[in-house]
Amino acid sequence: MRFRSDPARIRGSLAPVITPFTDDGALDQQSLARLVTWQLEQGSHGISIGGSTGEPSAQTIAERAEAIRLVARTVADRVPFVPGTGSAKLDETLELTAAARDAGADAVLIITPYYARPTQEALYRWYVAVAREFPDLPVIAYNVPSRTAVDLAPETVARLFTDLDNFVGIKETTKDFEHFSRVLHRCGPELLVWSGIELLCLPLLALGGAGYISATANLAPAACAAMYRAWTEGDLAEARRIHYGLHPLVDLLFTETNPAPAKLVLQQRGLIASAHVRPPLIEPTEPARVKIAELLAEGAEFLSPAGPAEGGS
């Protein structure tokens, strides 16, 4: 939690790791610890768990809290740890956020409440309730309208940033790039903005973004970190080379619903023991597996090495 008092240091490529399960659907603690260790070895600038890639809606609050505590112990304060602690219910969000605070999280990622389609005023009050319950914990909104059916408007983001000392940033997962610009225009560069859209990670940096929380880091953590480093060092040609080189892996991730394709590849490479996803998701179908193999070969240059375990589990 050494970054909690200075959230402006939470920058770069924050890997939103998948939640590995055993074949019978239980949390696979050994695989999760191995994944996080691998992410750190590959140079990820931070770790997240419990966002959309982590299948949070298919888990109980107790299961999510267990995973958060395990990741916090594995990260051991080496890089920022920013778990997703949001839910569609306020009491669950507060319970899980408290667990993350106690585990040593540096900040928390709070998704807009899904399914209910709250108004902007309701969203404002939601984030106020969470932020005021944890005044010493940096709060980051997670705006992902494709999954939640509600968009956190730039005006509402600006209102929260003005009214709450510990509302520090937002993960924007919208393909409306004007939205990114309007949020930063209203709030200024002090608001930390991360991209959750894989192909907008590099463009956001040009607007003043803090980095990205991209599912691509599950397969190519070193390349994702290198793209950010190239940008900060002014090597724009290298940053663009990586951006375009990652396209096949981005397409792979969404061959079918994320994170099923990523889990399959991680299992094939020996980084997790099982590709199991919980219902309502299913493991990739045979046509998808064929496409995944093609895209994997196309993007092979940018895959991070799996280490001694590569080639099987």
Task: Return the active site residues.
Answer: 142, 171
For residue 124, CA distances in Å to 131, 161, 163, 201 come to 11, 10, 10, 26
CB 292 within 8 A of CB 255: yes
Among 75, 141, 71, CA closest to 99: 71
Strands 211-212 and 108-111: unpaired
For residue 48, CA distances in Å to 24, 53, 292 come to 24, 10, 25
Rg (CA), the chain: 18
What are the residues whose beta carbons fall under 8 Å from the beta carbon of 71, sequence distance 6 or more?
17, 32, 36, 47, 49, 81, 83
Report the distance separating Cα 188 and Cα 190, nearest Å.
6
Residue 148, classed as helix, strand or coil, is helix
133: which 2 tokens?
């319950």
Q: Can you say how many angstroms the Cα of residue 104 is from the centroid of all Cα atoms in its chain?
A: 18
Report the distance separating Cα 232 and Cα 235, nearest Å.
8
Q: Phi/psi class of residue 288: alpha, beta or left (left: φ > 0; alpha: ψ in -120 to 50)?
A: alpha
Strand boundaries in the chain, DSSP class E: 12-17, 46-49, 108-111, 139-143, 167-172, 192-195, 211-212
